[in-house]
Chain A
Amino acid sequence: DTEVTQTPKHLVMGMTNKKSLKCEQHMGHRAMYWYKQKAKKPPELMFVYSYEKLSINESVPSRFSPECPNSSLLNLHLHALQPEDSALYLCASSHLGVNSPLHFGNGTRLTVT
C-alpha cells in the first residue's frame, strides 16, 4: 500500500466523455505531480504543482486539465481524449526541495475507446 491514493484504479472512457482522475496524500507534501506511463516505457512528467499552484506544464495537450483544490488533493480532468492517451496515469507527491524523493500512488489505468 502507498500513502498516495489514486482513484479510480481503472477507467474506460469514450472519446466524447468527460472524466476525472483523483489523487490524495496526507503526508504534508507541498509538491504534487502527474506522470503518464505507456507500457514498457518510463514515466513521463506532465504537470507539477507547488503550493497548489501550477509550476510546470510539460506541453501537455489541453484535453488534460489539472487542478489542485488544496494541499492534499490533485485532480486531472479529461475531455475528448484519443485512444493513444490510453496509459497508466501516476500521481506523486514530495516535499519541496531538490533532494526530496517522490512518493507515487499505484496509478489509474486509463483506456480510451
Chain B
Amino acid sequence: SQQGEEDPQALSIQEGENATMNCSYKTSINNLQWYRQNSGRGLVHLILIRSNEREKHSGRLRVTLDTSKKSSSLLITASRAADTASYFCATDGGSTLGRLYFGRGTQLTVWP
C-alpha cells in the first residue's frame, strides 16, 4: 500500500498542551499533505509540504518532513477543544495523475 500510516491512532490531551502526530509512507512523493476531519464532515486541508521542504508553519501548526526516513510530523501547539478531530496525512505516491492516498488517521481529543 502507498498509504501513509499515522501514529498514534488516538491521542487524548488537555487544552493548552501540544499534540504531535506522525506519519510514515512508503513511496517517493511530490508532496505530503495534512487534512482534518470533524466527525461526519468533509476533510479540510491544513498544510502541504513539498518534497524539497523540511519544515513548514501555519498558525499553530508546524509540519516537518524527512524524505530520507519517509516520515512527517504534525505539531499543533497550545491545543484547544475545537481541535478535536481526526487528522490524516496524504501522499501522492510520486504520481502526477491526481491520486492522493490517505493514511489511517489519528483521532485527537482535546479536553477542556
Chain A contacts to B: CB under 8 angstroms: 2, 4, 6, 31, 33, 41-45, 48, 50, 55-56, 88, 90, 92, 94, 96, 98-99, 101-107, 109
Contacts and interface: CB of A to CB of B under 8 A. Distances in A.
B88 to A, nearest CB: 6
Interface of B: 3, 30-31, 33, 35, 40-45, 48, 50, 88, 92, 96-105
Label chain B's interface by main secondary structure.
loop
A98 B100 contact: no
A107 B100 contact: no
B33 A101 contact: yes
Contacts of A90: 42-43
A77 B42 CA distance: 20
B103 to A, nearest CB: 6
A42 B99 contact: no
B48 A101 contact: yes
Contacts of B97: 48, 55-56
Contacts of B33: 101-102
A45 B100 contact: yes
Contacts of A55: 97-98
A55 B101 CA distance: 16
A99 B43 contact: no
Contact of B88 (A6, A42, A96): A42
A45 B96 contact: no
Contacts of B31: 98-99
Contacts of A45: 99-101
